[in-house]
Each structure stands twice: as C-alpha cells, then as structure tokens.
Amino acid sequence: MSSGKNERLIVSPSPHIAGDETIPKLMYAVLYALIPAAVVSILFFGLDGLRVLLLSSLFCLLVEYLIMRFMLGRSSTLADGSALITGLLLGFNLPSNLPAWMIFSGAVVAIGVAKLTFGGLGRNPFNPALVGRVFLLISFPAQMTTWPLPRFLNFSWGEDAVTGATAISVVKEGLKQGESMDSLLAKLPSLIDLILGATGGSIGEVSAIALLAGGLYLLFKKVISWHIPVSYLLTVAVITGVIWLIDPTKSASPLFHLFTGGLMLGAFFMATDYVSTPMSAKGQLVYGVGCGVLTVVIRLYGAYPEGVSFAILLMNATTPLINNSFKPARFGHQAA
Amino acid sequence: MKSAKSLSSFRLGGIHPPENKLSATSPILDLPLPALVTIPVTQNLGAPAKVIVKKGDAVLVGQIIAAAGGFVSANTHSSVSGTVAKITDEVDSSGYKRPTITIKVEGDDWIEGVDLSDALVTDLGLTNQEMMERIVTAGIVGLGGAAFPSHVKLTPPKGKSCDVLIINGVECEPYLTADHRLMLEQGAELIVGIKILMQLLNSSRAVIGIENNKRDAIKQLEQLLESESGIEVTPLKVQYPQGGEKQLINATIGKEVPAGALPIEVGAVVHNVGTIVAIYHAVMKGRPLVERIITVTGKKITKPANFRVRIGTPVSHLIEAVGGLPMGSGKVINGGPMMGRALTTLDAPVVKGSSGILVMDGSESIRREAVACIRCAKCIDSCPMGLAPYLLKIWGERSELERAEDELVMDCIECGSCSFTCPANLPLLDYIRLAKQGVGRMLRERSKS
Ligand code: SF4
Ligand code: SF4
C-alpha cells in the first residue's frame, strides 16, 4: 500500500500537537465571568443599566469594525471577543444615566485611540476600557460622578432617578469635614448592601460579590493567575487596616475599602488584562502591590474619591520596566 | 496508592497534553524481518562510526559493520544476516542524507557467543571492566531518543561520583507505550540491568521514575523489587516533560542540575529503561544492540501496536504491519508528537533512538493560523526551564542574538510546551530554535577568538 515513494507527507518541526486554548476561548471566558455583575447591574439600575451596557458594547464593536475595515483595511477582528470585553468593561465603569453620545466618545477613545492606534489586540500598553473611562471622567466630571441610586427591580424607562454620591466619596468628604466615621456609616447602606451592590456607583462595579464570583471563575478556569488580584487586594487591606487600627474613628475599615468603589472590578478584570500587565509571577506581584498602594493613596489623599482606574493606568505604564526587572523563576540558576 | 496531589513532579512549568496511549495494552510482538534493512552508519551522538564492511560482504546478525570512531561514539551492527548490497547516502529519519549500509536480508543467523535463550541470567561473575567492554562492544546508546553512547555516562569524570542512579521509565510523550510495555514484560531483565549499572557506577541507590498513568508497570516492578533493597519505584505526576533529564532528576531527588552542567554535578546518572534492558542483554547474554521496542500508533490506525524491530527496518514495513497508511494521513512522525520529527519519506529506517512511529491524520497535521501575541504569559507558565518564550521568539525573529543569550535561550530543552500552550498559535519553538542556532554559532566564534 505504501511504498513511501509517492506519499506526500506533511513535514513541520515539533511540537506536532497543540492545546485547545485559543484567544476567543479565553475572551469568552472573561465575558462569562462578567455575567453575574451585569445581571446585578440590571437588577439595580433597571433598563438604564441595560441601556448603558448595550450601547457601550455596541459602540466598541462598531468602532473596532469601522476602523479595522475602512481605516486600516484589515479583516474584522470582532470574533476574537476582545472588543466586546472592552465594551462591557467600559459600560461597567459608567453611571447608568450617561447620555449616549458620551458613551460613544468613550468607545472611540477606548478602541480607536487606546487600542487600535497601537496596533490592536496584544500591542496596547494601556487597558483600553480604563483609558475610555478616565477620558470621560476628565472631560465630563459632573456627569461621570452623578450616580443614580439603585432601585431594585424597577424597570421603568428613562424616569429621573434620585442621584447621590458613592459610599466612598461620602466617607471621603465627610472625614474631610471632620465628621466621625460612625456618623458617616449611619448615613450609608449597610456593609451587606454595599457588598451586594445596592449602592450608588458605576453600574458594573457596585456588586463586589458578583464580581468576586466572576473573578473566582476566571481563576478556576486558569484564565488569570492569582498573583495580581491577591497582591492587589491584600495590599489595600493591609494599608487601610493599619490606618484603621491607628484611628478607627477617622478612617474606614479595610472591609469597607475592599468592597466599595471599583476595587473588585479593578483587581479581577482590569488589573489582570493580559496585554498591559507584567508577565512573570514576581512581576505580577510587584504590579499588584503597586496598584494597591496607588489606589489607597489616591483614595485617601487624592483629588478624586476613587483611585482604582488611575492606579491601574499608572501601573500599566510601569509594565515594560517591571518586565525588564523581574524575570521568571529560572531553572538551574539558583545560587549554590 | 498515593493520591494524585502527593505525587512528585518537577519544580517549574509543564503541561498535560491528551495522553492517547492507544497501544498501552498491546503486548510486544516480534516483527518479521523485511527484505532489506538500511542501517545508518552512525546512530549515536558524538563522533561518527567508521564503515568496516564493503559491498558484497556476507554479514551475520550482531556483526560489527561500522566501528566506533572514538570514545564518544558507538559500534553499529548488522541486525540481520545477509549480503551488503550497497553503501550509499540515504535519507534517514532526520530528513538528511546520511551514510547508510543497505543489507539484503537472507536469514537470521547470529554471530558466535550470543545467548539467544529467554532464560534470565543474573550473574556471570564478570569484572567491572569485562562488563564495560561488553557494553562498548554491543554499541549501546541511549534509547530514550538522545542516542548518547551509554558507556560514556557510566564513566563519571574524575572527582565526581554517582550517588543515585535514576531510571527513566516516565514515557511522558503522548501516544508512546514502548517503555511501558517493556517494563511490564521485561521487568526482571530491567532489574538485573539496574544492578549491573549500580555496580559499575558504585552507587548504592537507584530510583525508577514512572508516570502515574502506568500503574500496572509501577505495581509490577514494586512486586519484583519486594525482596530487594536499594532500588525504589517513584510514581510521578503525569506532566510533560517529566521525562526530560533535568526534570526527572528534579522530580525524583529534588535536585536542580545547574545550567550548562551534567547530571553528575548533582551526583546523578540517568538511563532510560530501554537502554538498561539493552545493557542487560549486552552483559549477560553477549547480545549487541540490533533491535528495539517501538510503538506504531495513530488515531486512524486500526490496531496500534508495540513491536520488537530490527534496527534498519524501513518505517513503511512497520506501517504495513498495522494495516498500511490510512486514507487521508498527513504526517508520519518518528518519535512522539511533542519532540518527534516528521518524516520526509517512509523509506527512512528505524534507528537506535526511534521510540515510536506516529501517524497523524491530515486534519491533525496542519497548524492553526498564528495571530499576534496577547502577552498572556501562558508560555512562561508552561516552560519547565523558567524561560520567557514570547520574548525569545521576538529576539529570534529579529536576530538579536545577544539578547536571546541574556534571556538564557541556550537553556531551552526544545520540549515544545510553549508552542503547545500558546493561545495565539504562535510557533514559538521554531523561532527559539533559530535563536539557539544563532547563539550557538556566536558562542563558537567567541571561543575561537
Ligand atoms: S502564550 Fe503565546 S500569546 Fe501568550 S504570551 Fe506567550 S507567546 Fe504571547
Ligand atoms: S521549548 Fe524551550 S522555551 Fe519552550 S517551553 Fe520548552 S524549554 Fe521552554
């Protein structure tokens, strides 16, 4: 049957098999992990929440498609799922009443400027969704910090919702005015409500518990490694813990810091973005600690009440440096 | 039975490709002789062997037809009896033309002095030197794939000693089952072989490392070793590349061979189970290395098998023995899917270092389209040497050889874990090999000047 002479054999170097992980699979795992938080945001912010998520995703996909096809003349990259993730993450970072055109401009900055001008997926030094958010925050500070308060299972459309400040800014402003922590806490939803997400804030970041569930799913699926989220969260907990132990009347507890604001979203979904974060385990630990320190510093002493986005973007900038300084643990190079 | 968690493994990286040990339950069969054998003159790492027969010579099984060309070299024997038909350059499993002796097979008559019985011989009262001579004469090389002359590994450099002999029964390559079957069917011979090596190396401890997917072999050897002391079986986690020399040492005795050094640096010598059985035959039976066990397998092969095959048998003969090349086959690999080489022709012969023939379907043979690196670091996590494959690829691609050297490209053992893992389907190892070649050249030039 086979003389060997007329066989046409395929020849290529080893390895001859490949694992079944692909970029779309990884990206879709991230999308699944975002589902719990997306559901909570719709439960609490109703159709307005849904509107922001849909618009933001749609705009990001649209911008990616248009730029890839008509400005760069390349084939569509929508199928890899990364634009959809950026869209959802950007939506997560917005208040539920943001006008559509602002969302659109955020999408243009996130996808058009932060991602595609650098060459697309894999080449962007900064997390696109965060660049989009910070752009909006700086350009439209009023709209970006007016938070409709959640109304559980209220699906009325476009009705003017009651707005309020986020827990974190209530505390920050209050402490500045000299109020005691106890009296401030009395004004706020209970810690349980804060953890569940029944509080004012960006639609996707309010529910720490839903984000934690998604984050654990990503860890379990080995889409992300533990190094960044754990070092990030621990750093915030330790620093705010020490400050709190020194004077609990003038500072918020580490639990409050962990479960409010954008920390969970940042630690599990933003700071773990493959492209803009360090590669080696050691580098990731350093990066996570850096994110934690900057977050606390901005939260406690910065002009903005929340520091997660700025902290992560600043650390994005240090990624090349960290990659150069912290190499993977080597085999056979231990000091004798 | 140890639980999966407590099994030892190597310290860094590793992957778990589908095991596909399709031929694990197929007993070893003797493959009938082919009409012609093509025996590459040199089948060892090191110095080439020198041809000592000429066209038309009559040869017997076990007769030396090419003599070792130095200390780091090995004899090559005829694996059949017959007539030397030609001595020419032929394409071997590497895809290159190499000096080859073609012998027309006329029978199976052996040279004098070989014990062809199956009886287990445990002691002939030979001195160490006599045993070493028999190993050298028999042309034993590492049968795990590297084909390094075995007697060299049995001669530790001055000032070094072997504290522990490590026996590689890992067989971490998917599909391959030759070593597995050998341990099951020839365990007693293996143990005598281990004792020979312990005596030669003057070492009082031996550890047999076996991946835990071969429980029957583990149990079998444990039973055979019940009344013995000094030889232990260590079940290892099923994790590729557990059978890499440095990884196996790390997994079994917890030591880390320094970069660029040999195992003896940490007091270890590693031999593959197949090599040790061949050493048993050489020493106790006077039998040269003329055959080996080889797995012939593939998803479309109806009866994946393990054969005892004479060296020089064409691959096509093996494939016919399992029913011929299935329709739509794409690649035929000499070795396993992770480190084996794709054959350019089925006329290529089985050599001392061939552990398996894997036939892959056309659909499995084509690489997926590569896209841009997303810096997911999964290649780093998979690398058993702690390298940064994504970075080595970049330096390889750009011929930045100094940078590749700084990033320790020469430590790469070419296990392919990084390419296997990469979700962007990047052929990382292709570029890393390129960088290694370049850096190797650079280092040679540097040492010249
Ligand atoms: S595994 Fe592939 S995509 Fe991921 S960092 Fe390595 S080279 Fe890049
Ligand atoms: S082929 Fe080389 S670089 Fe890739 S995982 Fe194996 S040792 Fe590491």
Q: Which residues of B touch A79 (CB under 8 A)?
A: none
Q: What is the pLDDT of residues B110-157, one digit of tens each?
A: 999 899 998 999 888 889 999 999 999 999 999 987 789 999 988 888
Span B33-107: which CATH code? 2.40.50.100
Res B5 pLDDT > 60: no
Å from B50 to nearest chain A CA? 29
Q: What is the pLDDT of residues B225-282, one digit of tens each?
A: 988 889 999 999 999 999 999 999 999 999 999 998 999 999 999 999 999 999 999 9
pLDDT at position A181 is 78
Number of Cβ within 10 Å of residue A187's Cβ equals 12
Cα of B405 from ligand 1 centre, angstroms: 20
Residue closest by Cα to atom 2 of ligand 2? B412
Domain limits, CATH 3.40.50.11540, in chain B: 4-27+117-285
Q: Is the CB of B415 under 6 A from ligand 2?
A: yes
Cα of B4 from ligand 2 centre, angstroms: 25
Instruction: Using CA coordinates, name the residue in chain B closest to A120.
Output: B372
Which class in CATH covers the domain with range B4-27+117-285? alpha beta
Asked if residues B411 and A332 have their Cβ atoms less than 8 Å apart, the reply is yes
**Residue among A119, A327, A333 minimizing CB distance to B259:** A333
Asked if residues B307 and B28 have their Cβ atoms less than 8 Å apart, the reply is yes
Distance CA A264, CA A40 (A): 14
Mean pLDDT of chain B: 92
- As for the ipTM of the complex, it is 0.89
**Residue among A12, A277, A334 minimizing CB distance to B256:** A334
Å from B383 to nearest chain A CA? 10
Which residue type sits at A308? V
Task: At A249, list the tokens.
Answer: 């009347």
Q: How confident is the model at residue B92 (pLDDT cuts 50, 70, 90)?
A: confident
Span B291-365: which CATH code? 3.10.20.600
DSSP assignment of B140-167 equals -B-TTTT--BHHHHTSPPTT---SEEEE
SS3 B38: strand
Q: Which residues of B touch A14 (CB under 8 A)?
A: 335, 337-342, 414, 416, 429
Cα of B423 from ligand 1 centre, angstroms: 7
Q: Which of A212, A317, A209 is nearest to A268 (CA)?
A: A212
> Does B174 contact A120 at a Cβ distance shorter than 8 Å?
no
Kindly state the percentage of chain B with pLDDT values over 70.
Answer: 99
Q: What is the pLDDT of residues A158-182, one digit of tens each?
A: 555 666 677 777 777 777 787 877 7
State mean pLDDT over A186-214.
Answer: 82
CB proximity list for A242: less than 8 A, separation 6 or greater: none
Q: How far apart, in Å, are the Cα atoms of A183 and each of A168, A174, B261, B288, B306? A: 14, 9, 67, 90, 79
* Residue A103: its H or E element: helix A100-107
Domain limits, CATH 2.40.50.100, in chain B: 33-107
